[in-house]
Amino acid sequence: MVVGDFSKEADTIVIGAGPGGYVAAIRAAQLGQKVIIIEKEHVGGVCLNEGCIPSKALISTGHDYVKTLSETPNGISYQPAKLDFGKMQDWKNNTVVSTLTKGVRSLLKKNKVEIVEGEAFFTSANTLHVMQGEEQGISYSFNNCIIATGSRPIQIPNFEFSDKVLDSTGLLNLKELPERLVMVGGGYIGMELALAYANLGSKVTVLEGMTSVLNAFEKDLVKPVLNYAKKVGMEIITNAKAKSVQDQDAGLKVVYEVEGQEQSIEADMLAVVVGRRPNTDNLSLELAGVKVDERGFIPVDQQGKTNQAHIYAIGDIVAGPALAHKASYEGKVAAAAIAGDAGAAVDYQVIPTVCYTSPEIAVVGLTEAQAKEKGMAVKKATFHFAGNGRALSKNETEGFIRLISEKESKRIVGAQMVGQEVAELIGEVTLAIENLMTAEDIVLTIHNHPSLGEAITDTSEVLLGQGIHQ
């Protein structure tokens, strides 16, 4: 290995150009820092290139396609639909993802952030080295550093990733639609992709080790998703431990165990989506003196500072949910702290979580049970989309909105939603909770008619005992 015999200097170096890293780099530059951002694979990170964005493109195509396969009540008759899977993948990769990747590069350039491609590792608390190929590299010194290296899929024993045993990235980049797909893992990523492929026409089987899929959500939120999965022919096997996979002439043989009994299923492709682990093990953090916990996460304070006060960490490599919007938020806080804003701190009340299944699930804040565990006296109210004019006119009436409020103050403390497009509604309730708003505040805010958003007003009225449409 030839190590570069010169170094470059920067006020702030950001390692990782995902939704946390590139946002942090731009904000730091806006605040007057000379910034270098280092990315070893793709600008935009996993979210833009291999996760959030391409998966939603696949999901949207599946929604459009499956609608053509059944009769509609509104007088539209479809000819037999034809899916060009290759063309869909080309659109996803070369239009959707490419446009956004170029956009991020353009934003970094606009803000005078230098992009360095290569793999970074620390050589001391104030220096790092970037390998560019096997024998070339550049050394850098910095005053501050933000680590935003994200996470990667967990690989389980006896399921080594290959061209047929896939992680989520491989599943998103198939060249042909698999006739039979087995998904190991029924969390939110697994179920999103399982339903997307079921909508596109694959016969999908989900093996989930716990008692139910989407185990992080309340059962009544999951029930409409299970009903839809059954409708499109998905099979979900719970309490199933994946044991092994064999490549045979007829395809893959997947062996799993349920209640002590081994069973098997054949598939053309198998995807393992059982969680992710932080990318902190190849950074030589010990040479920078940065502490890491037993799970590979980096402990930080409210500004994102590690035990080395000039080195920050954000996103999937720190505690909390592995969500792109959380990483972006933390990146802005870290950049502000580096610029000298003593008041910059992670101080959000809540983080919304959305599962882009069919139908979508969106939650924020406390459930009724969680509020009661905290000793809070609360009220809850539910309004079903079947009573919403816009939902009826779209023929998408499955699901409901539930709001949780403090009984005495009427302050909103939580929301749970399931239905089409609830991902676009959860932000309003997040804003309400973040600003300590009450059910009365929502009711006194005029919502346009007809809209799905009116259902938030209707739910708030029910909370106040003033329900009109229910």
Quick one: 21 and 143 in the same domain? Answer: yes
Residue 282 shares a structural domain with residue 258: no
Beta carbons of 378 and 371 less than 8 angstroms apart: yes
Averaged pLDDT for residues 298-324: 97
- DSSP E strand stretches across 420-467: none
Residues 281 and 409 grouped into a single domain? no
Q: Which amino acid is at 79?
A: Q
Same domain? 21 vs 90: yes
- Picking from 222, 246, 274, the residue at the C-terminal end of a domain is 274
Percent of the chain with pLDDT over 90: 90
137 vs 140, higher pLDDT? 140
Per-residue pLDDT tens for 396-447? 999 999 999 999 999 999 999 999 999 999 999 999 999 999 999 999 999 9
The backbone torsions φ and ψ at residue 88, rounded to the nearest 5 degrees and listed phi first, read: -60, -45
Helix (H, G, I), strand (E, B) or coil at 194: helix
Q: Give dist(CA 49, CA 56) in Å, integer.
A: 11
Q: Do 141 and 95 share a structural domain?
A: yes
Per-residue model confidence (pLDDT) at position 186: 96
129 and 52 inside one domain: yes
DSSP for 219-254, written as a single string? HHHHHHHHHHHHHTT-EEE-SEEEEEEEEETTEEEE
Q: Is 62 annotated as a binding residue?
A: no
Predicted pLDDT at 44: 92
Q: How confident is the model at residue 470 (pLDDT cuts 50, 70, 90)?
A: confident
316 is in an annotated binding site: yes
Helix orientation angle between 21-30 and 98-110, rounded to the nearest 10 degrees: 20
Catalogue the active-site residues: 449
**What is the domain extent for residue 362?**
353-463
Considering the domain boundaries, does residue 114 fall inside one? yes
Amino acid 3: pLDDT: 45
Total number of domains constituting the chain: 3
Q: Is the pLDDT of residue 140 over 90?
A: yes
Q: The CATH number of the domain where 73 resides is what?
A: 3.50.50.60
CATH code of the domain in which 392 resides? 3.30.390.30
Check whether 208 is labelled as a binding-site residue: yes
Residue 309, burial from CB neighbour count under 10 angstroms (0-12, 13-18, 19+): exposed
Q: What is the pLDDT of residues 67-79, one digit of tens each?
A: 888 878 888 888 7
67 marked as part of a ligand binding site: no
Position 51 pLDDT exceeds 90: no
Q: Is the residue at 345 inside a domain?
A: no
Together in a domain, 13 and 140? yes
Same domain, 205 and 298: no
Contact criterion met (CB below 8 Å) for 269 and 174 = yes
Write the pLDDT tens digit of every residue in 352-401.
999 999 999 999 999 999 999 999 999 999 999 999 999 999 999 999 99
Say whether both 310 and 357 belong to one domain: no
Is 286 labelled as part of a ligand binding site? Answer: no
Question: Known binder of ligand: residue 191?
Answer: yes
User: pTM for the full model?
Assistant: 0.94
Tell me: do 199 and 179 sit in the same domain: yes
The values of phi and psi at residue 464, to 5°, are -85, 0
Residues 172, 295, single domain; the answer is no
CB 412 within 8 A of CB 437: yes
Query: Which of 306, 338, 370 is at the close of a domain?
Result: 338
Segment 217-241, tens digit of pLDDT: 999 999 999 999 999 999 999 999 9
Report the 10 Å Cβ neighbour count for 306: 22
Residue 94 is given by DSSP the state: I
SS3 state of residue 61: helix
Q: What tens digit of pLDDT does each residue of 271-288 get? A: 999 999 999 999 999 999
Q: What is the mean pLDDT of residues 251-270?
A: 95
Decide: helix, strand or coil at residue 421. coil
- Tell me if 185 is assigned to a ligand binding site: yes
Q: Is residue 187 part of a domain?
A: yes
d(CA 443, CA 438): 9
- 149 in a known ligand binding site: yes
**In the predicted model, is pLDDT for residue 339 greater than 70?**
yes
Q: Is the pLDDT of residue 5 over 50?
A: no
Q: Tell me which of 229, 249, 274 is where a domain ends.
A: 274
Q: Is the pLDDT assigned to residue 195 strictly greater than 50?
A: yes
Are 145 and 11 found together in one domain? Answer: yes
The number of residues making up the chain comes to 470
pLDDT attached to residue 1:
35
Is 61 annotated in a binding site? The answer is: no
Taking the C-alpha atoms of 284, 285, 287 and 288 in order, what is their torsion angle to the nearest 10 degrees? 140
Domain membership flag for residue 374: yes
Beta bridge partners of 142: 10
In a domain, 371, yes or no: yes
> Is the pLDDT score of 4 beyond 50?
no
Whether residue 12 has pLDDT greater than 90: yes
Q: Is 187 annotated as a binding residue?
A: yes
From 204, 343, 191, select the one nearest 265 (Cα to Cα).
204
What SS3 state is found at 30? Answer: helix
Asked if residue 159 is part of any domain, the answer here is no
**Quick check: is 348 in a domain?**
no
56 assigned ligand-binding residue: yes
The pLDDT of residue 85 is 95
Any domain includes 1: no
77 burial type by CB count under 10 A (0-12 exposed, 13-18 middle, 19+ buried) = exposed
